[in-house]
Structure 1
């Protein structure tokens, strides 16, 4: 899951918007405030669950131009695309309202964010592009952003070259995976609450 899905999970679990994004940024978990730490831990658990899910294994095994070992990176972005396409199935809040809520929550904790996340939040303040992650152009831009930052970014070019096919391949895995993921995070929150009450 990429930014959009982690923000959705923050909303359904009532945990920190910034905290749920921190897993994609360089931070020292031992230095995080307690609310951010809850979100960071949830992000880590989500990533592990998604990586092991049979739908993810299926997506990574599909034939395409891009190298299989890097397909998980693209899967995360493609999953955001499909979450936005099927938004009404997973939320009673309109897409526009959700994007506004996410921005407000991120801005509130901007000063507690690492520099690169601060920069991202500032860009959202200038123009809230979250819903653009549900467009082919937005997916292309997200992948190219990773390509620029990552020293092995050229290995993602094959996915960009075949992007419509890659996006289409992700639809069925998303529909299989995401309901399971929401059930998983709900269970994790219940476990956390039970542990806290016992403590």
Structure 2
């Protein structure tokens, strides 16, 4: 899952949300430098990634993507799933997506001393271009994937992933709709265990 899903799945807990958001920029023992609940958010992020990466429905999505995007199929799948969450946010939350996004940005920006350098680097751009809301549109997802492609170490093909999404939209949407409620249920149980 990508940024929107990780932020959303943290519920209303600001520290859990912050940890979940920064987790990809925190390595190994660095986790111990954070307050306990932020550490739990970092762990939650990794549990979400593990559950997602090993789920058979997500495997279907990645298998469809692999011929075009090879080792980047999982990255493309994560971004597609964030698109479907954003595009259908009202089905998962009573809070409108623009309101959720502004709250999430404000919560993360309120704790600059806890943000890793990598997050300090991309967060202003993320907020300025309102990535979380832009994910709801094909154009926003296409821009996100083009940006990822430009930063990839190898030829990824991700710059064409917006076209692939349009071509097989209903397949990817159905897989997301089957998968995401299972992920939500898993996260609800894990959040209780982390508390």
Q: Distance in 2 between matches of 1:157 and 1:125?
A: 22
Please tell me the root mean square deviation across aligned C-alpha atoms, in Å.
2.2
1:24-173 maps to which residues of 2 (within 5 A)?
Answer: 24-27=24-27, 28-62=30-64, 66-173=68-175
Q: Distance in 1 between matches of 2:37 and 2:65?
A: 41
1:87-141 per-position Cα deviation (integer Å, ceiling 9, x unaligned):
1111011112111111111111233111221122222443433200111111111
Tell me the CA shift for residue 40 of structure 1.
0.6
Which structure has the higher relative contact order (CA within 8 Å, separation 6+)?
A: 1
Q: Distance in 1 between matches of 2:125 and 2:151?
A: 17
Tell me the CA shift for residue 165 of structure 1.
2.2
Shifted more, 116-125 versus 79-88: the winner is 116-125
Work out whether residues 59 and 173 of structure 1, in 8 Å CA contact, stay in contact via their aligned partners in 2.
yes
Tell me the CA shift for residue 20 of structure 1.
0.7
Secondary structure of 2:16's aligned partner = coil
Q: Which runs of 5+ in 2 are unaligned?
A: none
Could you tell me the TM-score, scaled by structure 2's length?
0.87
Work out whether residues 20 and 43 of structure 1, in 8 Å CA contact, stay in contact via their aligned partners in 2.
yes
Shifted more, 73-82 versus 154-163: the winner is 154-163
Q: Distance in 2 between matches of 1:49 and 1:139?
A: 23
Shifted more, 151-160 versus 131-140: the winner is 151-160
Residues 111, 123 of structure 1: alpha-carbon distance in 2 compared, 3 angstrom cutoff? farther
Instruction: Give the number of aligned pairs.
Output: 193
Tell me the CA shift for residue 61 of structure 1.
2.0
1:191 to 176, 190, 193: 193
Q: Distance in 2 between matches of 1:63 and 1:123?
A: 28
